[in-house]
Chains A and B, each alone.
Chain A
């Protein structure tokens, strides 16, 4: 489905990613874990075409998307919910979700896709007419994921979906993500807190200072004391 092969990414003259590779198969849940500043968001933004790798390539469903623009990548079927939510403040909750259905047509109708987004995040249905500015941090996060989901993506990328959320909201968002997984898309989640790594993760990648230092099953990382220390920031 998605394959990131040995990418090097520079921002201005600083090398942010070095030889980063990761894969996400059909229906697979992949978690990219690392401390703040490790390169998680840069990796995801590179997949989305927002940053261009100096070396290496990114392919989606066998198609090279390394040089494609962000909106083209999105239309190919990759939904992205950024870390800062990035909802549109002047649009209502409903319009924020609706907008995704206009840019990409899929087998599902607009109504079906919107309905599905509300089904996963029922709390948003009560705030349909509220403007983006009137939503709380947790609701914005949910809206950001709901909006990406309304694209009817084959692959959903969630950048730190639990960041800054109250514990009760974390549970709610985690439950919603579980619902999304049942719908079948592949999912890549970035996370800085190991305790937030969902139980349903198939493959775990650990990134540190722009390099992937571990990849494997989540239970395997528990054997790697050094890696755990790095993730916890105590190394």
Chain B
């Protein structure tokens, strides 16, 4: 990573660290969704950008994470967040193996449709198993213990803008470091080669199905962890969380932010969450505006908003350098 990039990241991190002290409580609360979706999209984009597979059913893994947190906290009375995360990683991995074994045999639209189908199957399962999952009413998620500490005596908003905020930020940082290392490892480069040219990757001894399956499993685990982080914020899990439109939202966030940049999807979550909050407070049909926005982004800047910002930054830097040379 370039020096300017590191400085920029550190500035954002510094801002996020002081944000709960300077920002309005509600906006700080909204930031929690950004953390959760960012972790989820790290996984989604491993599959989309680095492996070249577009999943239209990734909300399934958000559901696995969310429902795991719901079961553990409200049904089994195990409020430890770390337990929820570990069980989610395990369950998401198992689910990803089962689905992935079928899905990774296909690519392009067939892969997208298969993941969509499995996502909707899971949605139906949640709806129909009323005795287990609460059906369309869903399940409540209790406030979790963080690092073994009970914060139930705290006011809920204070919990979210304090301990839970920093916990989520910590998980996002750890997940980002882990994903950065994955995509820059030999494994990550093999995924890129498969995306670029699967036939030629095979000629070099890369078993493409095995690599695609591994990417699918890792992707599912990251998205599952995103689901665990999201669950306490919503306080409730229902089948709507795994509905295909939620998967579509994840695709939207990734495209708007910029899928070809590691941090692009994270920017997409900020745009999505902020716009949804602002637009839905004015008009009911906020998805209509989102649709138009997505069309505009895809046509005008396929690299997403991050590409626009990067180009703008380069332009400003060039102008400054040109000015310095002239003087």
Chain A residues at the B interface, C-beta cutoff of 8 Å: 48, 50, 69-72, 74-75, 80, 82, 86-91, 95, 98-100, 102-104, 147-148, 151
Q: Which residues of B contact A50 (CB under 8 A)?
A: 199, 202
**When chains A and B are docked, how far (Å) is the Cα of A151 from the Cα of B192?**
18
Q: Are B189 and A95 in contact (CB under 8 A)?
A: yes
Q: Which residues of B contact A99 (CB under 8 A)?
A: 186, 189-190, 193, 204, 206
Q: Are A147 and B204 in contact (CB under 8 A)?
A: yes
Q: Are B199 and A151 in contact (CB under 8 A)?
A: no
- Chain B: how many interface residues by the 8 Å CB criterion? 18
Q: Are B203 and A48 in contact (CB under 8 A)?
A: yes
User: Distance (Å) between the CB of A138 and the closest chain B CB?
Assistant: 18
**When chains A and B are docked, how far (Å) is the Cα of A90 from the Cα of B200?**
14
User: Distance (Å) between the CB of B295 and the closest chain A CB?
Assistant: 26
Across the A-B interface, give the 7 residue pairs with the lowest CB-CB distance, nearest first.
Answer: A103-B205, A86-B200, A74-B205, A70-B202, A102-B186, A88-B196, A75-B205
Partner of A91, one of B196, B202, B203: B196
Chain B residues at the A interface, C-beta cutoff of 8 Å: 186, 189-190, 192-193, 195-197, 199-208
Q: Are B193 and A91 in contact (CB under 8 A)?
A: yes
Q: Which residues of B contact A98 (CB under 8 A)?
A: 186, 189
Partner of B204, one of A72, A74, A89: A74
Q: Are B199 and A91 in contact (CB under 8 A)?
A: no
Most chain A Cβ neighbours within 10 Å, of B192, B203, B206: B203
Most chain A Cβ neighbours within 10 Å, of B192, B204, B206: B204
Most chain B Cβ neighbours within 10 Å, of A50, A95, A103: A103
Q: Which residues of A contact B199 (CB under 8 A)?
A: 50, 70, 86
**When chains A and B are docked, how far (Å) is the Cα of A82 from the Cα of B199?**
10
User: Distance (Å) between the CB of B211 and the closest chain A CB?
Assistant: 10
Partner of A151, one of B189, B193, B205: B205
User: Distance (Å) between the CB of A86 and the closest chain B CB?
Assistant: 4
**When chains A and B are docked, how far (Å) is the Cα of A128 from the Cα of B284?**
54
User: Distance (Å) between the CB of A4 and the closest chain B CB?
Assistant: 18
A82-B200, A86-B199, A88-B200 as given contacts; A71 in contact with B205, CB under 8 Å? yes
**When chains A and B are docked, how far (Å) is the Cα of A151 from the Cα of B200?**
13
Q: Which residues of A contact B206 (CB under 8 A)?
A: 71, 99, 103
Sample 13 A-B pairs with CB under 8 A, ordered by A number: A69-B202, A71-B202, A74-B203, A82-B200, A87-B200, A88-B201, A90-B192, A91-B189, A98-B186, A98-B189, A99-B189, A99-B193, A102-B186
**When chains A and B are docked, how far (Å) is the Cα of A48 from the Cα of B203?**
7
Q: Which residues of A contact B195 (CB under 8 A)?
A: 90
